[in-house]
């Protein structure tokens, strides 16, 4: 039993770190722009496929390929915002429809180009070790360390840098931010860039441990959205904490019930929590 608990804690921590990156990016853009970006999962899966093409087809160095892939989705995020979201930003339902349509379109393009079978990103480390009687690969350990490092960098960016503080201020009162002369549109663009990069980096880490497939253009969005709702819309810290709750819940469900029950248990638990706390764990009333 102790070994099972250790397995849940270790594997759940790795999964949680990946989903924390994805969900924090989703929460970040909603927090400042009040945009529910349903194309968020597109950045998650595109970075993985981009790196695979760069490494296997063009023969580029792994780390250079990762950097290019992450920057690519960051720029794509800005393009998507400027072309699809900005013109209709004040029409929330239209933003959801347009971004979801884009995500479904990308999913179909990836299915046509790469097929439905999952593909893994070439690993940057090999080997395994034992922790508490549980075998764990070094790449899982590195993935968790990188995920946590990026989360800390995000916290530093938001709370310690001038731009981050401006983003926080704008998220609290956008009208007041405009009145004091902040370039809110520029803040939206920066936030979208950071949000897409977080999703793209999470996708690369996910494809290190598991396998990326086109369906994750929508599936990763569902996970991120569920986590953000649980943590509280607009609360980045809430999303991070909720990610670990969901990560451990999924891992425990897989361990005791099997993989087919994982998402069911997760969603039922989230619904149960929201019945008693509609704003999420750390959300506040609008």
| pLDDT 10s digits, 132-158 | 778 888 899 999 999 999 999 999 998
The whole-number average pLDDT for the span 48-75 is 92
| pLDDT 10s digits, 214-263 | 988 888 888 888 888 888 877 788 888 999 998 998 899 888 888 888 88
DSSP string covering the chain: -HHHHHHHHHHHHHHHHHHHHHHHHHHHHHHHH----TTHHHHHHHHHHHHHIIIIIT---HHHHHHHHHHHHHHHHHHHIIIIIGGGTT-HHHHHHHHHHHHHHHHHHHHHHH-SS-BPPPPS---EEEETTEEEEHHHHHHHHHHHHHHHHHHHHHHHSHHHHHHHHHHH-HHHHHHTT--HHHHHHHHHHHHHHHHHHHHHHHHHHS-B-TTHHHHHHHHHHHHHHHH-TT-HHHHHHHHHHHHHHHHHHHHHT-GGGHHHHHHHHHHHHHHH-TT-SS----
What's the whole-model pTM score? 0.91
Query: In which band, very low, low, confident or very high, does the pLDDT at 131 lie, cut at 50, 70 and 90?
Result: confident
- Does the domain spanning 2-276 belong to CATH 1.10.10? no
The whole-number average pLDDT for the span 197-209 is 93
First to last CA, the chain: 44
Query: Any idea of the CA torsion for 141, 145, 147, 148, to the nearest 10 degrees?
Result: 140
Mean pLDDT of the chain: 88
> Tell me, what's the pLDDT at 57?
86
């Amino acid at each position: 039993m102790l070994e099972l608990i250790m397995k849940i804690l270790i594997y759940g921590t790795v999964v949680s770190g990946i989903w924390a990156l994805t969900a924090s990016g989703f929460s970040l853009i909603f927090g400042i722009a009040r945009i529910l970006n349903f194309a968020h999962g597109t950045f998650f899966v595109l970075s993985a496929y981009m790196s695979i093409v760069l490494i296997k087809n063009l023969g580029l160095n792994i780390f250079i390929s990762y950097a290019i892939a992450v920057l690519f989705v960051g720029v794509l995020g800005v393009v998507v915002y400027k072309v699809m979201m900005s013109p209709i930003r004040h029409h929330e339902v239209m933003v959801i429809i347009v971004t979801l349509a884009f995500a479904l379109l990308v999913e179909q393009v990836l299915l046509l180009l790469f097929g439905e079978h999952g593909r893994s990103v070439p690993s940057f480390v090999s080997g395994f070790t034992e922790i508490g009687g549980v075998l764990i690969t070094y790449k899982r350990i590195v993935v968790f360390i990188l995920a946590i490092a990026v989360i800390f960098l995000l916290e530093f960016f938001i709370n310690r840098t001038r731009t981050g503080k401006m983003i926080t201020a704008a998220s609290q009162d956008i009208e007041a931010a405009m009145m004091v002369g902040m370039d809110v549109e520029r803040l939206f663009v920066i936030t979208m860039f950071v949000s897409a990069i977080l999703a793209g980096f999470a996708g690369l880490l996910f494809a290190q441990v598991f396998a990326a497939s086109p369906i994750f253009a929508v599936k990763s969005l569902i996970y991120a959205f569920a986590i953000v709702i649980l943590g509280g819309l607009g609360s980045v810290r809430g999303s991070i904490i909720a990610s670990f709750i969901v990560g451990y819940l999924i891992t425990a469900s897989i361990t005791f019930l099997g993989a087919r029950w994982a998402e069911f248990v997760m969603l039922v638990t989230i619904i149960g929590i929201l019945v008693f706390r509609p704003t999420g764990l750390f959300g506040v009333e609008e």
